[in-house]
Homo-oligomer: A and B are copies of this chain.
């Protein structure tokens, strides 16, 4: 059969993201998305690399192979396609596209870090002294990473009510989203061998949307001195399609001016920013449009920093940008910013929202703009908030 997809479709031949789908009753299999079609790659290419239900085997093969497969897919999709390889997008289930090895979250947006610093540390400088010298990051929980469509149960935990000295236990009352990009490592690097900033492209396989759900009250109580833990580890949602770095070549732009000049190991010779506009949608209503291009630290700098101490990387490592926020109103990638810590709720479908309520559905969307005007779709990272579950233990607040 012939697959007819418009040349300017955000999932046209210039995109071809990788994912994992499951047809009714079948095992998960690797696919690409072409328009509204999900095309099975093992069947399309007759290549067993794509038979397992994750991208890891393919990602581990490295950039020469990625380029060759991409060319093969373009070739195959423009010819006659075996109908048994083709499914309609709305007839399959999309799975987590890869097995996550280590997961790191950065804090790379200056606008976000400034906004959050003002809220979390009102008596200090908004940016900590280290912020412009290194991309701040921390490790997160790989097991909690779920694919778009997975419900998110409101987490329970400790929080310190305002003005109190003793914490209470119960469901978070300041549940937030964080609109981010996630970068997926294809081939890793051994212990003791840092990845130079301008060789990051040899390791980076692709990009996903990433919602780093955050319980602000749990986070505020726990995070000094060792950083976020339970306030983040209950769930993080990724989009099911990994957009290859190769598809984003035409979306590369310079990052914002970096002043002071970064140390040599962070100095880039190539433009490593990406012209991607994100959208935060709650219950069908767009509440924010964060511009990724405004992000201070680039993915290449994050990867170079992450490994400069000799830390190894592996196929399936995921590092996220941290919340993407732009400088203008309506460009903030979290509710805590959009509502100034909950103090100024936003209008949402005739209601007000400070933080997320049970039943809210959060959808992140993204689209890259290539220099030639075409667009690259990222699909979506969606999740609905379910009410907290009570614990078997007794005595908690509810």
Contacts and interface: CB of A to CB of B under 8 A. Distances in A.
B309 A233 contact: yes
Contacts of A160: 129-130
A150 to B, nearest CB: 8
A141 B311 contact: yes
A296 to B, nearest CB: 15
Contacts of A166: 133, 260
Interface stretch (A43-51, A223-231, A324-332, A353-361): A223-231
B264 A394 contact: yes
A215 interface: yes
A153 B194 CA distance: 12
A191 B226 contact: no
A171 to B, nearest CB: 10
Given A138-B139, A309-B157, A225 B223 contact: yes
A121 interface: yes
B196 A139 contact: no
Contacts of A101: 142-143
A395 B264 CA distance: 6
A132 B377 CA distance: 48
Nearest to A227: B227
Contacts of A260: 166
Nearest to A313: B143
Q: Which of A137, A138, A197, A394 has the most CB of B within 10 A?
A: A138
A231 to B, nearest CB: 8
Contacts of A153: 192, 310
A225 B128 contact: yes
A41 interface: no
B158 A134 contact: yes
A278 B305 CA distance: 34
A314 B143 contact: yes
A194 B230 CA distance: 12
A303 interface: no
Interface stretch (A5-13, A24-32, A247-255, A385-393): A385-393
A165 B129 CA distance: 8
A66 interface: no
A80 interface: no
B391 A308 contact: yes
Given A128-B225, A233-B311, 16 more contacts: A130-B167, A130-B224, A133-B158, A137-B229, A138-B139, A138-B228, A138-B229, A157-B308, A169-B264, A196-B392, A225-B227, A230-B306, A263-B396, A264-B394, A264-B396, A310-B389
Nearest first, the 10 A-B pairs at minimum CB distance are: A227-B227, A155-B309, A264-B395, A139-B139, A138-B226, A234-B309, A226-B227, A233-B311, A230-B309, A264-B393
Interface of A: 101-102, 104, 107, 117, 120-121, 128-130, 133-134, 136-144, 146, 153, 155-158, 160, 165-167, 169, 188, 191-192, 194, 196-197, 215, 218, 221-230, 233-235, 260, 263-265, 267, 305-306, 308-314, 317, 389, 391-396
22 contacts: A104-B229, A117-B225, A128-B224, A130-B222, A136-B229, A137-B226, A139-B139, A141-B311, A143-B314, A155-B310, A156-B194, A167-B263, A215-B309, A223-B226, A226-B227, A226-B228, A234-B310, A234-B311, A263-B396, A264-B395, A264-B396, A308-B391
